[in-house]
Amino acid sequence: MVGESGVVSRFEALRSAATPLVGRDEELDLLLRRWRQAKTGEGRVVLLSGEPGIGKSRLTAELLRRIESEPHTRLRYFCSPHHQDSALYPFIGQLERAASFARDDDPEQKLGKFRDVLAPAARGNHEIELLAELLSLPSAAVKLNLSPQRKREKLLEALLHQLKTLAFSRSVLMVFEDAHWLDPTSRELLDLTIDRAARIPVLLVITFRPEFEHGWGDEPHVTGLNLNRLAGRDGAALVERLAGNAGLSRETVDEIVERADGVPLFVEELTKAVLETKEKVLAASAPPQLAIPPTLHASLIARLDRLGPIAKDVAQVSAVIGREFGYHLVEQTVQRPAPELRLGLDRLTDAGLLFCRGVPPSSSYLFKHALVQDAAYDTLLRVKRQELHARVAAVLEQRFADVVERQPELLAYHLQSASRLAEAFVYWQRAGERATRRAANHEAAQHFRRALTILDTPPESEQRCREELAILSRLTPALMSTYGWSAPEVGDAVERAAAVGRQLESSADLAPSIANLWLYNFSRGRLDQADEISADLFRIASELDDLEIQLQAHHTHGLRAGIEGYLSRRAITSTPP
């Protein structure tokens, strides 16, 4: 695990310079104190919470700016609403940025870069192989002969070891943004990181929205910091600093402050909306009706409209792709000449709605805030949305095979959003199978569940029943690994599988679901039901003359007889003389 490149640092500098920081002196002072404490070797964690647009990212960017002259390593992790079930998505992104992968690098070139940055901290070649496999690079991890669960454990340990080695080389500032979109495996790794942070020189800042439930606040090295809305005086100061010499009247400033209700992003967007309409009003002659949008959403849409049809079209296509996107992907999707695309991107960047990193065609872009992306997406009618999701899906399939291999769930999302359900089903299934191979069972379960939602639509058929049974047979082990064999979630899946199976003639496909149903009932102590299910297995084995199913049936019967014998012996030994 290595620090971010200079390109990323410049990108963050641009982001921090875009908006003045007002009314956050106490919060910034607390972060700087925690940083000084962390540098002594006693790591600190700050949980930075607040509603959307309240300034969490802006505050962390200011912290980065304040300590940039000090020797340290910075690590940035970004969660995404479209990747909440992509195992270790923020960690993979950080590793790829640290290795400075280029779009035209082939797998061997990427592997070479990756080895160069990881080798100094790795405890052996096995760690590099595990991390290379995580990034879908050429790897000999299979030769380690580890079970999926054991491989997963060693992978998480390798990532933790990278952080520890890095921190004892130079103090680390680790910023984890938008943890409310965290995938389950990253959540587990972040739990471990928080636990170990107290013993290494690292400041870990985690940002999230208030509704996120975490349970991290009980440790002495963990500090909670909730960002409140700006007071009226601070809101007015922010408007005035943004307006500069534009000469906004006091009435205009007051109305912006009142409508923004202390949310800095809303203050900024309303101020820019007024400035872009070029309504510079004298205090003595303020009109009774000012062109101030009533909501943040309305303000953002009005600003997109004023940028012109080219910029708005580029923003809409980009919003469909995601909050962060590369030039090559939007170029292939937008269906405009390159000069128009660049003009649209430049206008959006100049307006502060996008941040740009790099120079086209090697550039990448980030919507200033998730709310900006949402506003652009919401301007699309349903039919147009489906068309754009279909375009993105086609480009991913045809031009970004490496992305599809690593993230089949991303293609599945776009296909489902385009109402191409049969294809989406295939890729949700692939995503589940890939997660299962990595022992990311929670993520696997979510992918399989999404595949099942597609099958919920009529009409029913034997083929559809068999597809549903196949998905349920994969979902059940993932649920068992996540929640335990006797959990209600497991019961729902195995009972549904049994109900589907009863609609089909006996076949080898039915055996796994019947066996899982037996295991669930046996684990719950429902021995009579387990006996009936065991008899079903014997019947299927006999009808098909299948020795493997017969072995499963005998296995269930043997376990049942064993527990019955154990209970009988307990009854005898516990009987009073």
Domain boundaries, the chain: 6-226, 232-292, 309-380, 458-573
Please give the pLDDT value at position 9: 43
Edge-to-edge strands, sheet with 222-226:
73-78, 172-177, 202-208, 44-49, 222-226
Q: Which residues of 434-467 are buried (b: 16+ CB within 10 A; e: fewer)?
A: bbbebbbbbbbbbbbbbbbebbeeeeeeeeebbb
Question: Phi, psi at residue 442, to the nearest 5°?
Answer: -65, -45
Q: What is the pLDDT of residue 568?
A: 53
Extract the residue ranges of the chain whose pLDDT is less than 50.
5-11, 13-14, 279-288, 566-567, 571, 574-577
- Alpha helices, DSSP H, located in 277-308: 296-306
So what's the pLDDT on residue 159? 97
pLDDT at position 458, please? 67
- The CATH fold assigned to 458-573 is 1.25.40
Strand 73-78 vs strand 222-226: parallel, antiparallel, or unpaired?
A: unpaired
pLDDT at residue number 25: 97
CATH class of domain segment(s) 309-380? mainly alpha
- Pair type for strands 202-208 and 172-177: parallel
Question: Which is it for the CA torsion 439, 443, 449, 455, positive or negative?
Answer: negative
List 136's β-bridge partners, or say none: none
Largest Cα–Cα separation, the chain: 104
* Cβ(121)–Cβ(158) below 8 Å: no
Please name the CATH architecture into which domain 6-226 falls: 3-Layer(aba) Sandwich (3.40)
pLDDT recorded at residue 570: 52
> What residue type is assigned to position 457 of the chain?
T
The span from the first CA to the last CA of the chain, in angstroms, equals 67
Q: CA–CA separation, 541 vs 539, rounded Å?
A: 5
- Helix ranges (DSSP H) in 400-526: 401-406, 408-417, 421-437, 441-455, 462-483, 488-501, 510-523
Q: Distance between CA atoms of 483 and 445, rounded to whole angstroms?
A: 11
